[in-house]
Amino acid sequence: MKLDRRTFIELIVGFSAGAGGGFMATPVNWKLMDDMTIWSQELWPRYQLGGLKGSLPQQGKVTHADSVCNLCPGGCGITVRKVGDRATKIEGREGYPVNDGGICPLGAAGLQLLYGPWRIPSPLKRIGKRGSGNFEKISWDEAINEVVQKLGNLRQKGQSHTVACILGSDEGTVPRLFDRFLTAYGSPNFIRTASAEDTYELALGLMQGTTGSVGYDLERANFILSFGSGLIEGWGSPVRVIQAHSTWRSGDLKDRATVVQIEPRLSNTAAKADNWHPINPGTEAALALGLAHVIIKESLYNADFIGKHTFGFEDWSDSSGKTYMGFKRLVRTEYTPEAVAKITGLPAKKILTLARAFAKAKRPLAVWGRGKGTVSGSLYECMTVHALNALTGNINKPGGVSARPQVATRSWPEVERDATALSGSRRPRIDGAGSNRYPLTRYLPDRWSQVMNGGKAGAIQALLVHGADPYFTTLDSAAVAKAFDAIPFVVSFSTCLDETAYHADLILPNHHYLERWEDLPTPVGLQKPILGMLRPVVSPQFDTRHAGDVLMTIAKSMGGSVASAFPWDDYETLLKETMGDKWGSLEAAGYIVNEGYKPSAWSKAFGTPSGKFEFYITAFDQAGVKIGKDVGYLPHYEPVQPEGNPATYPLILIPTELMRLADGAVGNPPFCTKTLEETELKKNDLFVEVNPKTAADYGLSEGHHAMLETAKGKAKVLVHLFEGIMPGVIGIPKGLGHAAYDDYLAGKGVNANSLIGVVEDPVTGLSAAWGVRAKLTRV
């Protein structure tokens, strides 16, 4: 039969119909449809779940491991939830004396730092130009050899004093190991990065004659007067302060604590405060003295404390009969509410009301430390605020302020120094701390780079950095970059590729904080001594080593007295030995808290020359500080002029610190960056806050680009009109502008530190800068 067209069509149509019908009568088509759906949902290449490639998170045994977070100085207890050997979540540790179950956004995002692509996988050696980000992997032996050789050569050449270490802390075994290393090696240059602690420790030392950091009994205070402290924005130990804030906000309305915020900008703290008093930036000290004026004038101060336990309140005369002005007279004459109103811009009436409310409160507390407390600040400003606490007799009392010691641990054997070490250690410090000019100060973290750039380029031949990111966090980034360029050998012990590591010659990656043992001394601002213990929660994810071990290996390889200064087998042995009998409870509980600790009574509390709380600082003369004028011995208002010419730079730029944006040694993890508001970051540009009035003056509008310029640098930014900022002031968030890390953080915004320079405090040499003059122009 010939296949004509018609038969063909009939065959095709018939067959197709039959095929369709037949296939429909089988289950396999339904089955295939179902399977295709599942495939399309989970396995189809385009729909594959990102990098997971079909390997979805596996189930396993759920366990919890306790440790301590060291991403900021807050030192919260954490509980890590693990599934099998994976850490899947970080939660606040219930019952931990710092944070009792709470956690901050940075702490909760810690696993992104553990498993993130910003981890340094192994020792790295720079191969390209510095700052190009080109590194090659090398073995640990090679890396350590390199350090040993470089440091050994310097030591041989008698240049041991040109080695410096920058760390984020000087307490705890690892920072002390670095300090010990320098001592044995022969260098005085141990530098701690800047914080408000620098100044507060000095103020406490001068006024109370105590060593130790400041401790605030926030929980029991019922009137909190904050001079620009971002109480709920990361100041002190963030979770602890937020919990204290909740205590203030609990109970009957009339019994609740009062919070007053003094700040030129409506920060979150200001917004949550009962009263917000915007004052001209940098005039906090004047306001504190104005309040003191009212308190003294109206005799609202604690007469018992002032009368029996203070020195220099009233005018006094020394043995030679010379009369000195007391704090009372200074305040009464210089800081009338009217005068202060003029300086601060806060009406005299408000000063009066505030002073009365503060002094009459049951347990008032004045707190100091700008923002998160990441800048040193002015000594006199700190002293004036502390003087307010003294006026209300608020020292070493419940709800008050005290100088808090650390949990005692075993001391280490004295270092046997050889001649090189001895001569090296006696050389002046590179940053000038402890010199004739700044005899009181221990570290001047913002100054070493200025010194180097000021004609001492060879002063540092080798720099070791651990637990800090000075390249990013130090003020005046351009100066820091220049100083870094002049250092021939930079070693970073960083876990993540931070700015310093990025510009280092050698990276010896430390274990991540969830992978290692380390002791963590009392978090900043806490009123009771606590010792926390970092414990390995997961096994090391990369070829990393504990910085303590690495440093000891380096020391041992150098031989001689340097090696013999480190008699321990490894870091863990050292840690156990140092903790002594506390090790047992530390290992079991993960922390030690000295619950029974109480600050000493007033009669025994002060170690000043007068044995009292000193309004008049006699220690200045003892230490050889050149004060010059009489008023300089008293807490007084010494304006800190922001850098820049008012004619060129008519506005004032102040850094703002956000809870959701880490601005310290740790880069912001993606989760935290994701929480930033639309008015803080947009694509790769940050927003500066400008009052609509100011914006109108300069023709700026919401969401538009502008050029922000200061004496230190300029940057393109976006403008956010914000009614909460004082006219004439610009707020710039701190913590953005990273070049290192990776695409989740790098290239976003601008580093506020690059726009702000150092203004040296005349007494301490620390940076007292609270802002900088700036100009903002439309682009």
Partner 1 sequence: MSTTEEKEQAVAENEQAKGGDEQAAEVAPVKPGTWRFLIPIAAFALGFMSHFSLGWVILPPILYAEKQQPIDFSHKLHVDEVGDCEGCHYFREDGSFSGIPELENCAECHEEAMGEDPEEAKLITEYIEPGKEIPWLIYARQPQCVFFSHAAHVKMGEMDCAICHGPIGDSDHVRPYQYNRLTKYSRDIWGWNIAGLSKNGWDYLKQADNSGEIKIEHAARMKMDDCAECHMEKRGTHDACFVCHK
Partner 2 sequence: MDSASAPFDSALFPEGVKRCKFKWFLFWVAVLHGPIMVGVIGTLMCWGLALNVTYLNNNYPFGLWIAADLGIIALGGGAFFTGFLRYVVNIEELKNIVNYAVVIGVICYAAAQGILGIDIGQPLRGWFIFWHANVHSMLTEVAFCITCYFMVLCIEYLPLILENRQINKLGFFHGLAHHLHGAMPTIAAVGVFLSFFHQGSLGGVPGVLYGRPFAFREGFLVWPWTFFLAILSAIACGPCFTILVTWFTEKCAGKQLVKKNVIDILAKISGRLLVLYLILKILDTIVWVGLAKGVGAPFSSFYANQPYGYWVLITEIGILGIIPAMLLLSERVRRNEAGLIIACLLNCAGIFMNRWIIVVQTCAQPVMSFDKFVSYHPNWVEYATTLVFVWVGAVVIMLSYRYLPIFPQEKELNPL
Partner 3 sequence: MKEAHHKADEKTYKFGMVIDLDKCTGCGACMVACMAENNLPFRKDNSDRLRSNLWMRVYKISNGRSFPDLDISFIPRPCQHCEGHGHHAATPCVSVCPATATDYSHETGIVSQVYTRCFGCRYCMAACPYHVRVFNWWDPTWPKGMSKYLNPDVSVRMRGVVEKCSFCYHRYQRAKNKAYAEERRELHEDEYQTACTQACPAGAITFGDLKNPEHKVYKLKKSPYAFRLLEKLGTNPKIYYVSTRDWVRKAGDVYLGKEGKDVTHA
Mark 73-102 with x for binding to partner 2 (rule: CB under 8 A) and - for no binding: ------------------------------
Whether the CB-CB separation of 729 and 651 falls below 8 Å is answered with: yes
Beta bridge partners of 525: 215
Using the rule CB under 8 A, which residue among 105, 205, 548, 635 binds partner 3? 105
Q: Angle, to 10 degrees, between the axis of helix 5-24 and the axis of helix 28-38? A: 70
CB of 44 to partner 2, least distance (A): 8
Which of 7, 436 has the CB closer to partner 1?
Answer: 7
Determine the interface stretch with partner 1 among 2-10, 370-378, 397-405, 422-430 (rule: CB under 8 A).
2-10
**Can residue 299 be called a binding residue for partner 2 (CB under 8 A)?**
no
Residue 437, binding choice from partner 2, partner 1, partner 3, none, Cβ under 5 to 8 Å by partner class = none
| Nearest to partner 1 of 7, 701 (CB atom) | 7
The region, left, alpha or beta by phi > 0 then psi within -120 to 50, assigned to residue 728 is left
b (16+ CB within 10 A) / e for 200-221: bbbbbbbbbbbebbbbbbbbbb
Question: 9-38: which residues touch partner 1 (CB under 8 A)?
Answer: 10-23, 25-32, 35-36, 38
Angle at 445 (CA atoms; ends 528, 689), nearest 5 degrees: 85
CB 183 within 8 A of CB 355: no
Q: Is 29 in the site for partner 2 (CB under 8 A)?
A: no
* 422 lies in the site for partner 1, by CB under 8 A: no
User: Segment near partner 3 (CB under 8 A), from 42-50, 140-148, 186-194, 330-338?
Assistant: 42-50
- CA distance readout (Å), 571 to 566, 567, 579: 10, 11, 12
Binding residues with partner 2: total (CB under 8 A): 9
238: partner contacted, choices partner 2, partner 1, partner 3, none (Cβ within 5-8 A by kind): partner 3
List the interface residues with partner 3, window 531-550 (CB under 8 A).
Answer: 541
Stretch that binds partner 1, among 3-11, 101-109, 254-262, 589-597 (CB under 8 A): 3-11
Which does residue 673 bind out of partner 3, partner 1, partner 2, none, counting CB within 5 to 8 angstroms by kind? partner 3
What residue spans of 25-61 are helical by DSSP H? 28-38
Q: Does 51 bind partner 1 (CB under 8 A)?
A: no
Smallest gap from Cβ 675 to partner 2, in A, equals 16
With binding defined as CB under 8 A, does residue 37 bind partner 2? yes
Which one-letter DSSP state was computed for residue 40? Answer: I
Task: Render 6-34 in DSSP notation, one character per residue.
Answer: HHHHHHHHHHHHHHHHHHHTSTHHHHHHH
Instruction: Count residues near partner 3 (CB under 8 A).
Output: 84
Nearest approach in angstroms of CB 8 to partner 1 is 10
Instruction: For residue 313, state whether it binds partner 3 (rule: CB under 8 A).
Output: no
Residue 640 binds to partner 3 (criterion: CB under 8 A): no
Q: Which does 16 bind (CB under 5 to 8 A by kind): partner 1, partner 3, partner 2, none?
A: partner 1
Q: Is 36 in the site for partner 2 (CB under 8 A)?
A: yes
Please write down the HEC assignment for all residues of 323-392: EECCHHHHHHHHCCHHHHHHHHCCCHHHHHHHHHHHHHCCCEEEECCCECCCCCCCHHHHHHHHHHHHHC
In the complex, minimum distance from the CB of residue 163 to partner 1, in angstroms, rounded to a whole number: 44
The answer to whether residue 670 forms part of the interface with partner 3 (CB under 8 A) is: yes
- The angle, 0 to 180 degrees and rounded to 10, between the axes of the packed helices 284-297 and 327-334 is 100
Residues 69-88 that bind partner 3 (CB under 8 A): 83, 86-88
**Which range in 43-51, 124-132, 149-157, 356-364 contacts partner 2 by CB under 8 A?**
43-51
Cα–Cα distance, 79 to 71 (Å, whole number): 15
236 binds partner 3 (CB under 8 A): no
Q: How far is it, in rounded angstroms, from Cα 70 to Cα 60?
A: 28
Question: CB under 8 A: which stretch of 98-106, 367-375, 378-386, 604-612 binds partner 3?
Answer: 98-106
Q: Is 41 in the site for partner 2 (CB under 8 A)?
A: yes
| Residues in 678-717 that interact with partner 3 by CB under 8 A | 678, 681-684, 691-693
Answer yes or no whether residue 33 interacts with partner 3 by CB under 8 A.
no
Q: Specify the residue, 43 or 696, whose C-beta has the smaller distance to partner 1.
A: 43
Closest CA to 735 of 651, 682, 672: 672
**Residue 17 contact partner, candidates partner 2, partner 3, partner 1, none, CB within 5 to 8 A by sort of partner:** partner 1
85 binds partner 1 (CB under 8 A): no
CA angle 213, 216, 220 (to 5 degrees): 160
Residue 740 binds to partner 3 (criterion: CB under 8 A): no
Question: Could you tell me the CA-to-CA distances from 335 to 329, 389, 685 in Å, in that order?
Answer: 10, 17, 43
Where residue 759 falls (left for φ over 0; alpha for ψ -120 to 50; beta otherwise) is beta
Question: Count H helices, E strands: the chain?
Answer: 28, 30
Among partner 1, partner 2, partner 3, none, residue 591 binds (CB under 5-8 Å by kind): none
Q: Should residue 48 be labelled a site residue for partner 2 when binding is judged by CB under 8 A?
A: no
278 binds, among partner 3, partner 1, partner 2, none (CB under 5 to 8 A by kind): partner 3
Question: Quick one: 423 or 541, whose CB is closer to partner 3?
Answer: 541
Q: Which of 54, 321, 596, 628 binds partner 1 (CB under 8 A)?
A: 54
Q: What is the torsional sign of CA 591, 595, 600, 602?
A: positive
Q: Pairing mode, if any, of strands 258-262 and 223-227? A: parallel
Characterize the bridge pairing of strands 124-126 and 86-92: unpaired
59 binding partner 2? (CB under 8 A): no
User: Which distant-in-sequence residues (6+ apart) come within 8 Å of 545 by Cβ?
Assistant: 140, 508, 509, 510, 511
The one-character DSSP state at 641 is P
Partner whose footprint covers residue 30, from partner 2, partner 1, partner 3, none (CB < 5 to 8 Å by kind): partner 1
Tokens 């913002």, residue? 446
Which residues ranging from 471 to 490 are in contact with partner 2 (CB under 8 A)?
none
Selected binder of partner 3 within 99, 310, 420, 753 (CB under 8 A) = 99
Handedness of CA 579, 583, 587, 591 (dihedral sign): negative
Q: Are strands 705-710 and 489-492 parallel, antiparallel or unpaired?
A: unpaired
Residues in the chain: 779
Span interacting with partner 2, options 17-25, 41-49, 260-268, 410-418, rule CB under 8 A:
41-49
The entry of partner 1, partner 3, partner 2, none that residue 271 binds, CB within 5 to 8 Å by partner kind: partner 3
> Which residues are at the interface with partner 1 (CB under 8 A)?
1-2, 4, 6-7, 10-23, 25-32, 35-36, 38-39, 42-43, 54, 56-57, 59, 61-62
> Which residues are at the interface with partner 2 (CB under 8 A)?
6, 9, 36-37, 40-41, 44, 46-47
